[in-house]
Structure 1
Amino acid sequence: MKRLILFISLVAVTKILAAQDRVTGKSFATRSEVIAQHGMVATSQPLATQVGLDILRRGGNAVDAAIAANAMLGLVEPTGNGIGGDLFAIIWDAKTKKLYGLNASGRSPGALKLSYFLENGIKKIPAHGPLPVSVPGCVDGWFEMHQKFGVMSMADILQPTIDYANEGFPVSELIAHYMQLSGGFLSKFDGFKETYMPNGHMPKKGEIFKNPFLANTLTEIAKGGRDAFYRGAIAKTIAKYMKEQGGFLSYKDLASHKSEWVQPVSTNYRGYDVWELPPNGQGIAALQILNILEGYDIKSMNFGSLEYVHTFTEAKKLAYEDRARFYADMDFNQVPVDRLISKEYARERSAMIRPDRAARSFPSGNLRDGDTIYLTVADKDGNMVSLIQSNFRGMGSGMTPTGLGFVLQDRGQLFSLEKGHFNVYEPNKRPFHTIIPAFITKDGKPWISFGLMGGAMQPQGHVQIVVNLIDFGMNLQEAGDAPRMQHLGSSQPTGEKMTNGGTLYLEDGFDYEVVRGLMRKGHKVSWANGAYGGYQAIMWDDENGVYYGASESRKDGQAAGY
């Protein structure tokens, strides 16, 4: 009888859950959030999470822990980031109760001119080799953050990664997979094999990998500060290597580099302020999409519905037309940010959306005016860091300076070569950037620090997270685990134009009837051929005084607190 009662109870619970799913639209696998009182770290690799957590336990603050975790990720996840790449961050400072934005992206070589590409018949900057290399901004970003907010010494912050680099670590599953892919086409470049293939092959899952070159480089940085990287022997080695490879990045380019503190920009979405950084990144695309969606009753549509997926996709297409035309280095252009993220402009643009039909193309506004890592950290004092860092395409350009232990980014590939374009290649200019950190506040108080990875997926992913949380009532973990959609084929800042409506890619979990409905509206639909993102998030629960952490299963990541 007890077994029968238990069986009936389980059936009843299952039915209740199924009914809830029909109401909320949540019918996917998820797990519990992590909850802790004193601090939280969420990264895409468990060893990096533990390094960040150890820094918090030893008295470091959120900025110290974020730098330590980022340094560690450069070692254990070189397929997404490293000190050869760029960095962006949004920091909530508990003392001043303000958000601070950091643009630590590098500029193009001063000696490389647009004429070089035109005279050599190069119509698009290549993905690998010396030509797409721009100044790596990561290390300067670390020291800018540390100088403004850090409390521990940089030597102590970098020491865990130095130790792991010397002693070795077991390569985790997904990272090993991507390392295998990268090795196949980057091993032809000088210095790559010596750094990443010491045993004649890229490390496999569970294999112990060491990077003593990187340990030495980080030791020099810990001793000599940011100038050791941009003005010392490291800079000279980079410049010499690039010249030997036929590249243009010079010692002068490195020595003149500087990061920039910028004011984050926001839009209010149903009472919540969503914050991004202004261009040269693409963060404001998320704000543009949210402004358009706010004009619709998204909650009543339900998650995964035909109406919601169609409306989201069309809103994305509209925002990405402006992204293609206007997003660029603001030192070279008057980018109309205020107008682009205004509610009035969103209403004008949303009038172009047809509920019954997918657009094959949209005009950009008439205005007068990949791979990556994301991590987030929060500490006992209420400081929170939203940080994203990248080489751009996986392990970057393949340019691996002799004996330094890292690959230089290929971010310069994202310049346009079209004369007159906002994002056209120019010397000493920051390219269009895909990596974007995000933050949400409520009534002037911090709520959620979050982000995810994946090139053009990132603004789309940010919007889906916000909508999942606010419209569909998901918790922090569910919002990241929910099936995602990604529209590709929009016009691009590198010059490509959308003429066929692009393609909507859906992860498993969307109903077949929804797919059929989308196709009837004129969407080209395909199933996702890869994982879309690498979401990490931390939420502050002001009522209970605790942090919630989340890390999704699309990466090797972990959220942990104490």
Structure 2
Amino acid sequence: MREFDRPGRSPVYAENGMAATSHPLATAAAIAVLKEGGNAVDAAIAASAVLTVVEPHMTGIGGDCFVILAEPDGSVHGLNGSGRAPAGASAARLREMGHARMPDSGPHSVTVPGAVKAWETLHQRFGRLDFARLFDEAIAYAEDGYALHPRVAADWSDQAAKLAADEGAGRHYLVDGKAPAVGSRHRVPAFAATLRRIARDGAKVLYEGEIAAEIAATVRAKGGFLTEEDLAAASADWVELISTPYAGHDVLEIPPNGQGITALILLNLMRKIGTGLLDPASADRYHLEIEAARLAYSVRDHMVADPAMMRVSPETLLSEAYTDALAAHIDPMRRNPEIVLPKLPGANTIYLTVVDRERRAVSFINSVYSSFGAKIVTPNSCIALQNRGACFSLEEGHPNELGSAKRPMHTIIPAMAMKNGKPVVSFGVMGGAYQPMGHAHVFSNLADHGMDPQQALDHARLFWDDDDGTVLEAEAGISDEIRSELTRKGHALRSAAKPHGGGQAIVIDEKNGFLVAGSDHRKDGLALGW
């Protein structure tokens, strides 16, 4: 139970359906679809479409999408909607051009957008309402305008100079050369027209014909390799989920090329070293979680890639023997200085979850990776293209080395927890590289410490910055006493310039017959049900 005389919010309880997203307008759209008789799949797609309008720096149809779907009978399905590198892309070419590492933005960071293909693939198999209906709210907000919420406006203002350097970005996402202000009305009529075409004619609008030609021409005019043939070859693929047991649950993730395996490795380590037995707000807990995370992320950065290129199987990485070997590097009293992490670009995204009356649960994530992706927006169709290629390596021989039509190691990850063969928690945490750490920390809050979904999400976070993992950034909720103790254990700390990610969670409480949800205070969003 939270302390009601302190700032905060309660979890949301409802029976007939629940949605939790990072923006109020998206949550409202999901609830409207559920009330019309749509299922959780329909509602999730509708919410995601709205988010491409109202959080365009975080997500878009020029990005990627991963989904975990749990049916009421306990059957689970994973969908990988991540796009591939252009067929003409190669690490050798970029090295010849003088690049030592993948560009964080620009034409060489663009990969094929997989989101709309994933939406259509998911809907064709599991949707209930007409596909076109799911775009109604998004089209209306794009055409008539919407108010910028505070977190969106704050993030957007940081990108104004970079957006001004691109014709399409400056045209559609700046007002008189500046980022739109909080509370102002922003319209994107060109994007409304694109959404209307997708609603009417399906995903092929993005991957064939006029819009595909514009996407390819825009990237190639800036020196990139993307072609219309690359777009036409886009696919969203059903995959077998990977899992690990934790605190009486089975935690599910999308397999590589996603980094969900990192969260599972981290949970294995936390189970092995007993972090769940510690005071949730203690320095010992933060220290052990961070040390376990640094090991798990080191595995990610050396081994996780397009599954066709991985040299070690997920089964090996999740085995007890491998967990034991990693755990041997953790000192409960001191930071291990030998663990070094390579740099990845800072990023953020949107995550949402919906559970319907039948207890169908959808864990859904959609992203353009960094803020406004590659900072390239098509001038006519108003599509912000992702910079997911920034996650490739240029190291020769690395399994995640940039290559023709490869999928990159991918940061966006939805999660689901099962118990006795049924879904009990649909959750996810945003924040680029932070996401596996967020999954493990939030789920431990729920499963080990008995927190409700809102408490679990609100709990103060600690994570390193985006260099080599040597400096930890502590959120304001971490006390000076804990910071001092962590310093004594060998950690370098500073106050976090921005909060670590965001998140949503819905717990299915079978005993009482209710859905219980939380939405992270670090974003503008909320959870609603009825």
- What's the TM-score bracket when you normalise by the shorter of the two chains? over 0.9
Q: Which amino acid aligns with 1:523?
A: H
Cα distance in 2 for partners of 1:419, 1:228 equals 37
Cα distance in 2 for partners of 1:119, 1:296 equals 46
Cα distance in 2 for partners of 1:246, 1:32 equals 50
2:189 corresponds, among 171, 191, 212, to 212
- Seen in structure 2, the aligned counterparts of structure 1 residues 27 and 435 have a Cα distance that, compared at 3 Å, is farther
1:337 corresponds, among 301, 314, 317, to 314
CA contact (8 A) 1:441 1:447 kept: yes
Q: What residue is the counterpart of 1:427 in the other structure? A: 404
1:556 is aligned to 2:504: no
Identity in percent: 40
Q: What residue is the counterpart of 2:70 in the other structure? A: 92
Aligned partner of residue 70 in structure 2, secondary structure: strand
Q: CA deviation at 1:348?
A: 2.1
Cα distance in 1 for partners of 2:312, 2:125 equals 28
Q: What residue is the counterpart of 1:47 in the other structure? A: 25
Unaligned runs of 5+ in 1: 1-16, 365-369, 491-497
**TM-score (normalizing by structure 2):** 0.96
Cα distance in 1 for partners of 2:229, 2:491 equals 49
Deviates more, 1:96-105 or 1:415-424: 96-105
Q: What residue is the counterpart of 2:481 in the other structure? A: 513
Q: CA deviation at 1:28?
A: 7.7
Cα distance in 2 for partners of 1:480, 1:122 equals 39
Q: What residue is the counterpart of 2:344 in the other structure? A: none
Cα distance in 2 for partners of 1:76, 1:198 equals 15
1:192 is aligned to 2:169: yes
Cα distance in 2 for partners of 1:536, 1:467 equals 15
Q: CA deviation at 1:546?
A: 1.3
Q: CA deviation at 1:464?
A: 0.6
1:136 is aligned to 2:113: yes
CA contact (8 A) 1:195 1:406 kept: no
Q: What residue is the counterpart of 1:387 in the other structure? A: 364
Aligned partner of residue 262 in structure 2, secondary structure: helix
Cα distance in 2 for partners of 1:236, 1:509 equals 49
Aligned partner of residue 68 in structure 2, secondary structure: strand
Cα distance in 2 for partners of 1:84, 1:299 equals 39
1:529 corresponds, among 497, 500, 503, to 497
* Matches for 1:122-201 after TM superposition, within 5 Å: 122-201=99-178
Aligned partner of residue 456 in structure 1, secondary structure: helix
Q: Which amino acid aligns with 1:241?
A: T
CA contact (8 A) 1:27 1:509 kept: no
Q: What residue is the counterpart of 1:495 in the other structure? A: none
Q: CA deviation at 1:29?
A: 4.8
Please provide the CA RMSD for this pair. Answer: 1.9
Aligned partner of residue 529 in structure 1, secondary structure: coil
CA contact (8 A) 1:269 1:291 kept: yes
1:546 is aligned to 2:523: no
Q: CA deviation at 1:167?
A: 0.9
Structure 1, residues 334-377: CA drift from partner, whole Å, max 9, x if none? 4420111123321221122112211012389xxxxx11000001
Cα distance in 2 for partners of 1:264, 1:122 equals 35
**TM-score (normalizing by structure 1):** 0.90
Aligned partner of residue 218 in structure 1, secondary structure: helix
1:375 corresponds, among 335, 340, 352, to 352
1:69 is aligned to 2:47: yes
Cα distance in 1 for partners of 2:460, 2:199 equals 42
- Seen in structure 2, the aligned counterparts of structure 1 residues 27 and 323 have a Cα distance that, compared at 3 Å, is farther
**How many residues are paired up?**
525
Cα distance in 2 for partners of 1:523, 1:363 equals 14
Structure 1, residues 462-517: CA drift from partner, whole Å, max 9, x if none? 11111111222111110001111113467xxxxxxx5xx61222112223222222
- Seen in structure 2, the aligned counterparts of structure 1 residues 122 and 481 have a Cα distance that, compared at 3 Å, is same
CA contact (8 A) 1:304 1:511 kept: no
Q: CA deviation at 1:406?
A: 2.3
Deviates more, 1:439-448 or 1:519-528: 519-528
Cα distance in 1 for partners of 2:206, 2:478 equals 48
Q: What residue is the counterpart of 2:379 in the other structure? A: 402
Structure 1, residues 294-346: CA drift from partner, whole Å, max 9, x if none? 12343442012122111111111111111111110002334420111123321
Q: What residue is the counterpart of 1:301 in the other structure? A: 278
Cα distance in 2 for partners of 1:140, 1:353 equals 42
CA contact (8 A) 2:18 2:354 kept: yes
Cα distance in 1 for partners of 2:118, 2:385 equals 16
Aligned partner of residue 152 in structure 1, secondary structure: coil
Aligned partner of residue 216 in structure 1, secondary structure: helix
Cα distance in 1 for partners of 2:362, 2:466 equals 32
